[in-house]
Chain A
Amino acid sequence: MDPKRKKDCHDSGESTRVASTFPDEVLERVLALVKSHKDRSSVSLVCKDWYDAERWSRTHVFIGNCYSVSPEIVVRRFPNVRSVTLKGKPRFSDFNLVPPNWGADIRCWLVVFAAKYRCLEELRLKRMTVSDESLEFLALSFPNFKALLLHSCDGFSTDGLAAIATHCKNLTELNIQENDIYDKSGCWLSCFPENFTSLEVLNFAYLNNDVNFEALERLVSRCKSLNVLKVNKNITLEQLQRLLICAPKLTELGTGSFLPELTDRQYSELKRSFSICSNLNVLSGLSEATALYLPALYPACTNLTFLNLSDAALQSEEFAKLLVHCPRLRRLWVLDTVEDKGLEAVGSNCPLLEELRVFPSDPYEEGIVHGVTESGFIAVSYGCRRLHYVLYFCRQMTNAAVETIVQNCPDFTHFRLCIMTPCQPDYRTNEPMDKAFCAVVKTCTKLRRLAVSGLLTDMTFEYIGKYAKNLETLSVAFAGSSDWGMQCVLGGCRKLRKLEIRDCPFGNAALLSGFEKYESMRSLWMSDCKVTMNGCRFLAKEMPRLNVEVMKEDGSDDSQADKVYVYRSVAGPRRDAPPFVLTL
């Protein structure tokens, strides 16, 4: 291909020659085909002309940390953007480790976008604060606005959704995922105008109020391109059946409540409706599903590639029966109510499985807890050799089990093991779980994301630093023996981008051993470790292009830095930090 040959023949030093023989318009057309933002970053580094061509042709921008750059800088560099993805708060805010009103407000971004990106079509936000006023502003400022995804956001209510429904005439996607939303009522759904037909994706599975069913039914009927529909628990089976009749071409379905309350005739109709849904690839919801009605789903499962049962507390028997009908499954999310027996069924029935997430049904042990053990995981590893993504919550694990698992499945890219009691050793040998994670990093050379748990010494981190050369994200809690552990990770993991640590004995020596590294990372989070304010101040002084932020807790020692968040930024220190966030 011509562009590549030219690139190979000429060094970056001969950029002028490249520019005169290679018209910008052609380069831009070629660049339009380059989609991955990492590739685009590389393109922009080749030479100034390529940097310019790339920035003019960029239509989608991904910002992994909203404070790493300012909206003004973004719009200046990329004038033609139509789609923006923004992530805000540190990930540990999902677990209540970040106080409310921390920041990451979308407002200032929207104001700048309204001026410079009139053609904005898509906005995907994760862990941002979004107010109702912002949503209304969004709805009114961008006439071509098409897709809104809100994931783990907070600060808004269903009034904001009403504004979107009312004003966005070209909306194709409204995706409200797992947010901390003030759910006032279901009226927002009735705000879609009667002549509105463009919706393709509608997800309101995590909203709690009733929507007007007739309005929903009419909406689904007239939106002929609707292919993703995820309703909330208040939609009954009878109502679901009526919706399925209106939208047989769905590829992704999230059911409402699966409580068995139908008459015989209604049940037959339900079965019939599911049997017409031959295009389903993704199925979720199924809350309160029992063995009784699951068979109605069987005909719809033939082409399922993603089954999300994390809202359905299924037992092993009915789960196993369901799996028989899902031979093409590649992704499976499930609750630990299915127990090891259920996971054995996964091993037997899902040879194509690539991703497994097992969530705890009773994380705080309020009832009699069974859950899953190492046996279930082992069983899956024997049957699903293509497994490369796992998130596994359990109450017991052994080193030997993990060694077996990674031998069976050496292609892990994401290995997130959560042994739910902190500092729990191998329950058979009482040793630390070091050997387990050593096996993971030695065997799984493609590992990009790792979450460790159980009783761990510095040895685990020595191995991680030595072997995990592709590791990008590491999550650590209640682990390690000394600063040395963290130093090994910072020194050894070349590609590390995100490091999040809580409750570990890592102090200033560890923090400061990585200070040059932090500029090549997106962020570092350390909470309840042994870092002091002086250590943080030193880091801030030495590395002016890093933002070093500390949050202190009430009643803690003045010298301790309870929560530290360090990230690189070209926007300088935050100007909107609340009083409890100290920027050093």
Chain B
Amino acid sequence: MESKVAYENIELNLKATELRLGLPGTHDSQEASLFGARNNNKRQLSDTSKECGSKGSASDAQHADDHETPPPAKTQIVGWPPVRSYRKNNLQPKKSEAEASGIYVKVSMDGAPYLRKIDLRIYKGYPELLKALENIFKFTIGEYSERDGYKGSEYAPTYEDKDGDWMLVGDVPWDMFMTSCKRLRIMKGSEARGLGGGV
């Protein structure tokens, strides 16, 4: 029974990662359209290579490609590139986080048992973001000043930027922050006060 579930899981994963060409419909029609697409690809690809083989010139290759452009760019070929399934599963979520329409970043707070995730796009600026963080983790952030950081509480909101550095939230314009923030961390205690000198 367990192994049967495992196989079903494989099937589901496969379907989830394949982009189909046909109209949404029955299982059979989907299979057929995928196979049909693959057959087309196969003929196109071998014809392309034939042309190149016999003529071997750049323009001909170009020409062949133009005539026989495969269906929509993101059609997936079964089992290609030859990457093993466990690798696919591990890595896909990471990329799609950044490029999807929401910018979801993880938020951790020192001492909290688990992390949260928030969509930066729903906040218009720092005040809304900080208020939201206060609500999620039930704490208070102090007053921001350029000179002293966040005064008045033992917490400081920080974020990891694209270079991998940990920065204090609030220094850069909001738009710049949104695109460069990879994840948030609410630092606590002495580490928060000594930000920049600690880790």
Q: Which residues does A use to contact B, with CB under 8 Å? A: 92, 94-97, 100-101, 129, 131-132, 152, 154-157, 159, 178, 180-182, 184, 206, 259-261, 263-264, 267, 287, 290-292, 310-311, 313, 315, 317-318, 335, 359-368, 393, 418, 420, 422-423, 425, 429-432, 455-459, 475, 477-482, 502-505, 528, 553-556
Contacts and interface: CB of A to CB of B under 8 A. Distances in A.
Contact of A431 (B56, B95, B190): B56
Nearest to A429: B58
Contact of A97 (B5, B79, B83): B79
Interface in B59-102: 61-62, 74, 76-88, 90-92, 94-96, 98-99
A180 B14 CA distance: 13
Contacts of A129: 3
Interface of B: 2-3, 5-7, 9-11, 14, 17, 28, 31-32, 35, 38, 41-42, 45-46, 48-50, 52-54, 56, 58, 61-62, 74, 76-88, 90-92, 94-96, 98-99, 108, 110, 160, 163-166, 185, 188-191, 198-199
Contacts of B45: 422-423, 478, 503
Given A182-B2, A315-B164, 9 more contacts: A94-B82, A154-B7, A313-B91, A361-B95, A366-B96, A422-B77, A430-B61, A432-B49, A556-B35
Given A92-B79, A97-B78, A455 B46 contact: no
Given A101-B7, A155-B6, A363-B83, A263 B189 contact: yes
B99 A422 contact: no
B152 to A, nearest CB: 21
> Counting chain B CB atoms within 10 Å of each CB, which of A95, A317, A360 scores highest?
A95
Nearest to A296: B199
A456 B87 contact: no
A317 B42 contact: no
Contact of A393 (B5, B77, B81): B81
Contacts of A101: 7
Contact of B74 (A259, A263, A292, A365): A365
Nearest to A529: B42
Contacts of B91: 313, 335, 361-363
Contact of B190 (A264, A317, A459, A504): A264
Contacts of B83: 95, 359-360, 363, 393
Nearest to A295: B199
Given A292-B160, A393-B81, A555-B35, A367 B95 contact: yes
A96 B49 contact: no
A479 B45 CA distance: 8
14 contacts: A156-B3, A260-B199, A261-B108, A311-B90, A363-B91, A366-B96, A393-B81, A423-B45, A432-B49, A455-B61, A479-B49, A482-B50, A503-B41, A505-B46
Contact of B58 (A184, A431, A482): A431
A555 B35 CA distance: 8
Contacts of B188: 263
Given A363-B83, A366-B95, A432-B53, A290 B7 contact: no
Contacts of B10: 96, 100, 180
B96 A367 contact: yes
A387 B193 CA distance: 48
B52 A554 contact: no
Contacts of A318: 164
A425 B61 contact: yes
A94 B120 CA distance: 38
Contacts of B11: 100
Contacts of A555: 31-32, 35
A362 B160 contact: no
B91 to A, nearest CB: 5
B53 A182 contact: no
Contacts of B6: 154-155, 157, 180-182
B111 to A, nearest CB: 8
A290 B162 CA distance: 10
A262 B30 CA distance: 48
Nearest to B77: A422
A152 B87 CA distance: 12
The 7 closest A-B pairs by CB, nearest first: A291-B164, A95-B79, A367-B95, A457-B53, A430-B58, A481-B53, A505-B46
B46 A206 contact: no
Given A96-B78, A100-B7, A364-B74, A261 B95 contact: no
B86 A430 contact: no
Contact of B52 (A131, A180, A291, A432): A432
Nearest to A367: B95
Given A180-B10, A455-B61, A554 B42 contact: no
Given A290-B164, A418-B82, A455-B49, A364 B76 contact: yes
Contacts of A457: 49, 52-53, 56
A367 B17 CA distance: 14
B38 A528 contact: yes
Nearest to A311: B90
Contact of B81 (A132, A156, A360, A556): A360
Pick from B50, B81, B189 the residue with the most CB of A within 10 Å: B81
A291 B42 contact: no
A264 B32 contact: no
A95 B80 contact: yes
Contacts of B77: 422, 503
A37 B80 CA distance: 34
Given A291-B165, A425-B61, A182 B5 contact: yes
A178 B49 contact: no
Contacts of B108: 259, 261
Task: Tell which of B50, B91, B96 has the most Cβ of chain A within 10 Å.
Answer: B91
A310 B94 CA distance: 14
Nearest to B43: A505
Contacts of A182: 2-3, 5-6, 9
Contacts of A311: 90
B82 to A, nearest CB: 5
A414 to B, nearest CB: 15
Given A366-B92, A367-B98, A458 B53 contact: yes
A182 B61 CA distance: 47
Nearest to B191: A264
Contacts of A290: 160, 164
A422 B84 CA distance: 17
A313 B78 CA distance: 25
Nearest to A98: B79
A95 B41 CA distance: 18
A252 B77 CA distance: 37
Contacts of B35: 553-556
